Amino acid sequence: MLVIRAAGQSEDPAEEPAPLDPAAGPVLVAIAGSPHDEAALRFGFEEANLRGVPLVGVHIWWYPPEVNLQPADIDPYDNAMLAGEAERVLAEAMAGWRIKYPDIPVEHRAIHALNVSYTLIEESARAGLLVVGCRGRGGFTGLVLGSVSRDLVGHADAPVAVVHDHA
């Protein structure tokens, strides 16, 4: 699903909205550290390649990443270690795609924040496209957006692509 909202909408209806140029900014891909990331990354890298823009992988963390650390290794108060683990989640998720698309400039953003939706909405102000994965489970439940996807579709400044992996 791709949603493009009018950019620069103001409270004052007399003001003209800012023109939308979705190809101007980078493609921003939200990385959750789950198997659903692959479909979002595939779509994001293909879009960045078509648009000739950089790709920015964003991982928002506020707790130790479950995918890389065992409970015995977790120090929930060592933010430097946790930031390094968040960066590792990004690097591992994007490694194969960087090889497939070597000409696309890639940036990692590991962001420590409590509210994933709010942080991605803020990040979308500097993006040409925001791509998120979806955990749709098929049938009726596959039609329902998760809370983050729903927030982004309603409030992001950039166009939003919600990519199902059909897994």
Structure tokens at 151: 């927030």
The phi, psi pair for 106, rounded to 5°, reads -125, 140
* Phi-psi group of 8: left, alpha or beta (phi > 0 → left; psi -120 to 50 → alpha; rest → beta): left
Instruction: Report pLDDT for 114.
Output: 87
Better-scored residue on pLDDT, 49 or 147: 49
* Residue for token pair 């946790």: 82
Specify the CATH architecture of the domain 22-164: 3-Layer(aba) Sandwich (3.40)
Q: Which residues of 75-94 are buried (b: 16+ CB within 10 A; e: fewer)?
A: eeeeeeebeebbebbbbebb
Q: Which two tokens stand for residue 48?
A: 């960045």
The answer on pLDDT for 166 being more than 80 is no
**So where are the chain's domains?**
22-164
Residue 24 main-chain phi, psi, to 5 deg = -75, -35
Q: Compute the average pLDDT of residues 121-136.
A: 88
Residue 4 predicted with pLDDT over 80: no
**3-class SS at 131?**
strand
Q: What band does 165 get if pLDDT is binned at 50, 70 and 90? A: confident
Identify which of 45, 44, 43, 31 has the alpha carbon closest to the alpha carbon of residue 92: 31
Are 120 and 130 in contact by the 8 Å Cβ rule? The answer is yes
Q: Output the pTM of the full model.
A: 0.78
Highest average pLDDT, of 6-10, 14-18, 74-78, 147-151, comes from: 147-151
